[in-house]
Amino acid sequence: MSQENIVEVWNKVLGILENNISESTLNTWIVPLEPQYYDENSFVVHTGQALAPSIIKKNHYFELTSALKSVLGREVEFKIIFDEELAKNFSKKAAKRAAQLEKEETKHTNGTIKYQYDSLTQMQSSNLNLKYKFENFVVGSNNKLAYVAAQTVAQHPGTKYNPLYIYGGPGLGKTHIMQAIGHYIIKNRPNMKVLFITAEEFVNDVVNALARGDEKTKKMNNFRKKYREVDVLLIDDIQLIAGKTRTEEEVFNTFNVLHGSGKQIVITSDRTPKEIPSLSDRLVSRFEWGLMADIQVPDIETRMAILQNLAKDSSIEVPNNIIEFLATVYSNNIRELEGAFNRVTAYASINDVPLDIENVKRIINYSEEEKTYTFDGIVDEVAGYYNISPKELKGTGRSSKVAEARQVAIYLCRELTKQSFPDIGKFFDKKHTTILYSYDKVKAELKTNHLLSYTINSLLKKIEA
Ligand code: ADP
Ligand code: MG
């Protein structure tokens, strides 16, 4: 069951309810509900009205579930969840909607009301995650440039930085800030069509469109239509198209069509265009046309601010020393920082234990010795394993043994310390593109080369021991 047609399902439900719930009740309580998702067993809507869940459950639950049953062909549980975000916008929205309905009513002299779902339909087709908005993005010196650029693009889509290219390490907020642009535009420009996709989905779409079969031309046309009829295209993790020639070509064509007609393009990646191996020069240069903004690892204040932001919405009180402790331990990946925070608060509230440092250490499996990997330590271990000297490993020798040891050491330095490619490059006295190449090579080879993965695992055990 796909979620894409949830708006259609919901519209049909409203169509049925129009016949058996009074118009004022419908407009006051049911129309403002925002369908979120549904599956085999349930249908979930959000509301910004605190009273809606109890009132609807008490008075209209039967009509709603019956209508859903006749549309979906099965019984599902109807869940109404109060959403504070929506509540903040609700009064503004309600006023707008009322005005809109009034207009519609006078237009349709026969009295039928046509509901307006512009922004909801926009939302459903855009592929965006509700969590990733500007409102809950914490700005620090590490992401200031990307943030300001993203705001500018959101306010002036297609006219300022085009494309906006945001890059940085994993878990640092690239997807979040890119989607925030989408949300902002949907909210403020109801006529614009926004589409968020990961480069991986784009690759799949190209592959499907090119698959052999009778409908090949039609599929290709649909593909092109999907991507070329948008006003704002958000492509996440573009590095994943590297080396996929046909996909690159479609990205190139899509880029030209959109850019040429003043449509906004936003791209994220874990590296700059030049650092994407084998990316064609014409794409590299296009990606550099607009603005390139990087996101760095956040400093301790920003990490604490992010946790404080999460703590605000948490059901339990999180003491400041715990926030500081977590922010110190998780220093280079906000996804991991958030994950640890969620584990800690969930554990504490389910098991009703106090949030002190001892408990927190236990919950996150913290040990003092962890996370003190150094480049030198890693190189020593790897050199020992291959029976060469650290100096040889870091040198320029090209024998296959030395070259493999060097690549493995580079791979482990990146994986274990999460330092940047240029920093690793400085240590090895190599260009950072060389470091990148080695890292990618080992990573790719690990998928098929069992001996190599055995080597890496043995080394990891030694280094972590
Ligand atoms: P990336 O795409 O760079 O790998 P994400 O955008 O997925 O990272 O971010 C990982 C997690 O960290 C997400 O849950 C996101 O909401 C959160 N996050 C990242 N940066 C920030 C920030 N500046 N403020 C608040 N949350 C953030
Ligand atoms: Mg991402």
Q: What is the pLDDT of residue 215?
A: 81
Q: Give the β-pairing of 194-198 and 164-168.
A: unpaired
Query: Whose C-alpha lies nearest to ligand 1, atom 1?
Result: 171
- What is the spatial order of strands in the sheet that 194-198 belongs to? 194-198, 232-236, 264-269, 164-168, 291-295
CA-based nearest residue to 255, from 165, 353, 345: 165
Instruction: pLDDT tens for the chain, 465 residues: list them.
Output: 445 588 788 888 888 888 777 777 787 778 888 888 888 888 888 887 777 787 788 778 888 988 898 888 888 888 888 777 776 665 555 555 545 544 444 443 333 333 333 556 666 678 888 889 999 999 999 999 999 999 999 999 999 899 999 999 989 999 999 999 999 999 898 889 999 999 999 999 999 888 877 788 888 899 999 999 999 999 999 999 988 999 999 999 999 999 999 999 999 999 999 988 889 999 999 999 999 999 999 999 999 999 999 998 887 889 999 999 999 999 889 999 999 999 899 888 888 888 899 999 988 887 765 557 899 999 999 999 999 999 999 999 999 999 999 999 999 999 988 888 999 999 999 998 999 999 999 999 988 888 898 999 999 988 877
Which of 130, 238, 306, 335 to mutate for ligand 1's pocket (most ligand atoms within 8 Å of CB)? 335
Q: Confirm if 384 and 355 have CB atoms less than 8 A apart.
A: no
Query: Whose C-alpha lies nearest to ligand 1, atom 4?
Result: 171
Q: What is the pLDDT of residue 92?
A: 56
Q: For Cα atoms 116, 122, 128, give the angle at the middle one, nearest 5 degrees.
A: 140
Distance between Cα 335 and ligand 1 center (Å): 6
Least distant ligand from the CA of 238: 2
Q: What residues line ligand 1, using a CB cutoff of 6 Å?
A: 132, 136-138, 143, 170-176, 306, 334-335, 338
From the CB of residue 228, how many other CB atoms can be counted at a distance below 10 Å?
15
Helix (H) or strand (E) holding 43: strand 42-47
Show the domains of the chain with their CATH numbers: 3-92 (3.30.300.180), 119-295 (3.40.50.300), 300-363 (1.10.8.60), 375-464 (1.10.1750.10)
Query: Whose C-alpha lies nearest to ligand 1, atom 11?
Result: 335
Burial call 412-449: b when 16+ CB within 10 Å, e when fewer:
bbbebbbbbbeebbebbebebebbbbbbbebeeeeeee
Q: For Cα atoms 129, 134, 139, give the angle at the middle one, nearest 5 degrees.
A: 125
The whole-angstrom distance between residue 53's C-alpha and the CA centroid of its chain comes to 30
Q: Confirm if 53 and 82 have CB atoms less than 8 A apart.
A: yes
Distance between Cα 131 and ligand 2 center (Å): 13
Query: Whose C-alpha lies nearest to ligand 1, atom 9?
Result: 173
Distance between Cα 415 and ligand 1 center (Å): 20
- Please state the pTM of the whole predicted model: 0.63
